[in-house]
Amino acid sequence: MSHSQTEENYLKAIYQLSQSHPDGVTTKSISQRLNIKAPTVSDMLKRLSAKKLIRHARYKGVTLTQKGTKVALTVIRKHRLWETFLVEKFKFKWDEVHDIAEQLEHIQSPVLVNRLDEYLGFPPFDPHGDPIPTKEGLINSRYEKTLDQITEGSSVEIVSVRDHSSKFLQYLESLSIQIGTRVKVVRRIDYDHSVVIETDDQMEKSLSHRVCANLFVK
């Protein structure tokens, strides 16, 4: 039994939303994430439930079943492997690959995915620093801390980004910030929660709270 692209997109969205809401994902949040109206989501949840891919009690949040989780992780695995492929082999920028990977993640061929993985040398992370689930469905947990939570004076490394939009990624490039960049928190501004950082090149830069909250660090 295979699943439609639409179903896969719902499962992936539910998986990702459940990372911050393990006790149940709301219809509204899925609706916003996928840009689909709530009644349509309600409908789909009924179908996914009938297929035993999610658990759903009416008017309550949803959680993925083991079966649903496996599908979601497979889709995420493919998305991140393809993104890595596009950057490593086809010389795309990290802000150009997401939309293409949104399509490639639905290609059905387990053997293709594994050849891709092998061709790339079994990469543990994608170009945005996100962990790539293994063939067995294992995924490293992501670092939880974001740059806005770091105390003054500490030095940290950027390990991944929360926002994958071109806009954000291009802005980071203009600041010379990428995955692996070390930054020192020079000052935290109380007024607007912005942060002044210093990068390797000794330059001081000011980052808004919004930007910092989208940068995972270790």
Smallest gap from residue 58 Cβ to Mn ion (A): 32
Residue 192: which of 209, 213, 214, 173 has the closest Cα? 209
Q: Cα separation of 11 and 3, whole Å?
A: 10
- Residue 41 or residue 197: which is nearer to DNA going by CB? 41
Phi, psi of 148, deg, nearest 5: -75, -10
Q: Which of residues 87-126 bind its own copies (CB under 8 A)?
A: 89-92, 99-100, 103-104, 107-109, 112, 115-116, 119
Strands 182-188 and 54-56 come out as unpaired
Residue 4 interacts with its own copies (CB under 8 A): yes or no: no
- Which of residues 33, 40, 175, 213 is near DNA by CB under 7 A? 40
Does residue 76 interact with DNA by CB under 7 A? Answer: no
- The smaller minimum CB distance to its own copies, of residues 116 and 197, is found at 116
Figure out which of the listed residues 13, 14, 17, 45 binds DNA, where binding follows CB under 7 A: 45
- If the CB atoms of residues 10 and 85 are measured against its own copies, the closer one turns out to be 85
**Site size for its own copies (CB under 8 A):** 16
d(CA 16, CA 108): 21
Q: Which of 16, 38, 162, 193 binds DNA (CB under 7 A)?
A: 38
Q: Is 189 in the site for DNA (CB under 7 A)?
A: no
Which of Mn ion, DNA, its own copies, none sits in contact with 126, Cβ below 5 to 8 A by type? Mn ion
Strands ordered across the beta sheet of 182-188: 204-207, 195-199, 182-188, 155-161, 215-217
DSSP H helices in the chain: 5-20, 27-34, 38-50, 66-88, 98-104, 110-119, 166-174, 209-213
Partner whose footprint covers residue 76, from Mn ion, DNA, its own copies, none (CB < 5 to 8 Å by kind): none
Q: Is 7 in the site for DNA (CB under 7 A)?
A: yes
Return the number of other C-beta atoms located less than 10 Å from residue 81's C-beta: 25
Q: How far apart (Å, rounded) are the C-alpha atoms in residues 158 and 216?
A: 6
Interaction with Mn ion in 155-214: which residues (CB under 5 A)? 164
